[in-house]
Amino acid sequence: MDLQASTETSERPGPTAASEQVPHHRIAILGAGFGGLGMAIRLLQTGENDFVVLEKADDVGGAWRDNTYPGCQCDVASTIYSYSFAQNPNWTRTFAWQGEILQYLRDCADNFGVRPYIRFGHEVEQARWDEAAQRWRLQTSAGRFSADILVLGQGGLSAPSMPDIPGLDNFEGAVFHSANWDHDHDLSGERVAVVGTGASAIQVIPAIQPRVGEMKVFQRTPAYVVPRIDHEFSDTKKSLFKRVPFLQKLDRFREYATREFVVMGMVRPKMMKRAGKRVLQHMRDQVKDRELRKKLTPNYTLGCKRILISNDYYPALDQPNVDVITDSIDRVTANSIVTKDGQRYDVDTIIMCTGFKVTNHPVMEMVFGSDGRSIGEHWKEGAAAYLGTTIAGFPNLFLLSGPYTGLGHNSMIYMLESQFEYILGALSALQQRQAATLQVRAEAAMAFDQEMQDKLEGTVWTSGCASWYLDENGRNTTVWPDFSFRFRNRTRKFDAMNYDFETRAAGRDEGEQSAGVSEPPAQARDQARDVA
């Protein structure tokens, strides 16, 4: 389907400026993962069709498209790691594999008619607020766009973090991040180094351990690992979910409520200390080597770092061809890794399981607000966004999975759906007031940030460990420090009193209409009617 977006004359200097036409939409969404795709679906369900989704890759899926490493599996149960408005009765197991989640997102894009709105191969390189025109100017890898409203849905796990290790560029073997897995590289019989022991590593290690010759696991901090209670869904159960959707909704609520109770311990570290002792029994049961058990025993409170789940991670580490190295890496040579104690480990391949840039995502340096400064510049002292969704000084900008929306106990999809509704409420408030822009008041944003820091004080997340929840200043601006249903309550209705609205500036060309399509595709319209 060919969408007809309105155009505006480009202001870029040069001989072709007068003739260049730039597509304009009311709303531009960055990214087609769970956040961006879900936002697009909800827009269609409410009748909004003048939007575009700018996606850097050639498919939807976000992190579940990019992370294809061996053993990649979700650590949140499938029944809650999915949209409430698109429940899937065909999940094959409690914790879905990467390919199954990716297919679910592809199906959602097709079934809700979102694909015609997606511009694949359009990586956003810069977004700048034009105060005079009251709109966002976007530069992508495939051309320019403008939009009245910008939604950042790139996700927190979309920018792999590569450690800055001296000599790494001179390594003669293969080096790749778990999020950029080299499937053409054969690991059979190789001497492999795995750097990191986080959520990706505990899946990669047992998946490749049987076929590598030797494995050196470089661990900075041991993790708490709990058993994965996983099983396949029977055909009978899937049939019941399909014929009686209420049963799946009930199962979804049971899973959500069970996980929600974990927060009570996370805000009371003494409870988690006691629980941590019980969790370590899982390691003792699976690791026979006493010295290895010492290396794998955390010295911090359970929950301070992300709690991991696995049944085969510890047994893999206990194999004869695996060695866990706890000394820090000093440098990399042409064919080895050298640790701070001077020990040299010869390796053929280095696999970086070193996580993602969460608190310093690169896109934050590419988005410029009304004062000409980037989000990153505003966040030098720490990330801050009102309800994790709006930033003072950035009109008509909304974040998905922003600061203080991360969870250490439940499904992020629940948080995203809360944000969807809040953003829809903001769009409705703009329309009701016939306003052109809105932005959160600085005092409201500051008060919210202080509220979050106060709530985090004394919780497990600030109990004294190094985690990806913390920024370079040591501030935790990642986690929502409360029950997730309280975030839902805070975002259920748009609180217009905390925002400033402006009417359309005089002199703006009213001929530049935001008209992506005259109406949603019939398929999307029917789907929206069915589930809205």
pTM over 0.85: yes
Q: How far apart are CA 300 and CA 37, in angstroms?
A: 37
**10 Å Cβ neighbour count for 252?**
19
Q: How far apart are CA 54 and CA 421, in angstroms?
A: 21
Q: Which domains does the chain have, with CATH numbers?
A: 22-158+357-507 (3.50.50.60), 168-223+261-352 (3.50.50.60)
Task: Give residue 471's pLDDT.
Answer: 80
Count H helices, E strands: the chain?
Answer: 15, 21
The DSSP annotation for 144-207 comes to: EEEEEEEEE---TTSSBPPP--TTGGG--SEEEEGGG--TTS--TT-EEEEE--STTHHHHHHH
The DSSP annotation for 2-28 comes to: ----EEEE---SSTTTTT-EEEEEEEE
pLDDT per residue, tens digit, the chain (532 aa), is 334 455 554 443 333 343 468 999 999 999 999 999 999 999 999 999 999 999 999 999 999 999 999 999 999 999 999 999 999 999 999 999 999 999 999 999 999 999 999 999 999 999 999 999 999 999 999 999 999 999 999 887 778 888 999 999 999 999 999 999 999 999 999 999 999 999 999 999 999 999 999 999 999 999 999 999 999 999 999 999 999 999 999 999 999 999 998 888 888 888 888 888 889 999 999 999 999 999 999 999 999 888 999 999 999 999 999 999 999 999 999 999 999 999 999 999 999 999 887 767 888 899 999 999 999 999 988 899 999 999 999 999 999 999 999 998 899 999 999 999 999 999 999 999 999 999 999 999 999 999 999 999 989 888 888 777 888 788 889 999 999 999 999 999 999 999 999 997 655 544 344 434 434 444 444 444 343 3
Q: Are 298 and 243 in contact (CB under 8 A)?
A: no
SS3 83: coil
The DSSP annotation for 407-446 comes to: -SSS-HHHHHHHHHHHHHHHHHHHHHHT-SEEEE-HHHHH
**10 Å Cβ neighbour count for 240?**
16
Q: How far apart are CA 108 and CA 36, in angstroms?
A: 12
How distant, in Å, are the alpha carbons of 127, 137, 177, 512 from that of 133?
Answer: 14, 10, 42, 11
Task: Give residue 454's pLDDT.
Answer: 94
Task: Give residue 351's pLDDT.
Answer: 97
Q: pLDDT tens for residues 459-469? A: 988 888 877 78
Q: How far apart are CA 324 and CA 152, in angstroms?
A: 39
